[in-house]
Amino acid sequence: MSQTLAVSPNNPAGIAYPADTAQFESERELGDGSVLIQTGTHLPGSLVLTRTALLSGWSLAGNSRSAFEREMREAGWTLFFMAGTIQITAFGLNERNTLSAALNRLAGRVKSQSCNSFEIAHITRESFLGVCRVSISAHARHLQKEALFLGQSNPARNK
């Protein structure tokens, strides 16, 4: 069984969230090993995602890459790892907004590689004289049912 995340104005990621989920819960959970998946990606039915207020159109699949990969493998899905590290740095006056800006740039780079997910390798947050700097190292990933990489440009993917 599998599901596709639907987008609606009331629930942009199309996911059922616990009522007591704090708005910035995902900000605390976001860190080394976190895997984020683009909204609209065809997913195994067993996958539970957490919305992130920091990056519109993406959801947190978990902060343990090994557990996530094991779950996908058991469901018969493939999570591709793209070679090369993506490095993003953003500056701003507010750490949360700076982190959000860095994540948006990262998401753009991931999409340009025809991938639907990414894994955060490391996040560095620094502040000096009121200026925040956030650096993110990540790897593009791609989740799909087939064992041969199809990328997002193929309309028949994951069916």
**Residue pair 26/60 in contact by the 8 Å Cβ criterion:** yes
pLDDT score of 21 = 39
pLDDT score of 77 = 86
What is the mean pLDDT of the segment spanning 136-143?
92
Which residues is 143 bridged to in the sheet?
Answer: 79
Q: What is the pLDDT of residues 20-76, one digit of tens each?
A: 334 344 455 678 888 888 888 888 777 777 777 788 888 888 656 777 888 888 888
Q: What is the pLDDT of residues 71-125, one digit of tens each?
A: 888 888 888 888 899 999 999 999 999 999 999 999 999 999 999 999 999 999 9
Residue spans of alpha helices (H) in the chain? 25-29, 65-74, 95-112
pTM of the model: 0.73
**Residue pair 147/77 in contact by the 8 Å Cβ criterion:** no
pLDDT score of 23 = 39
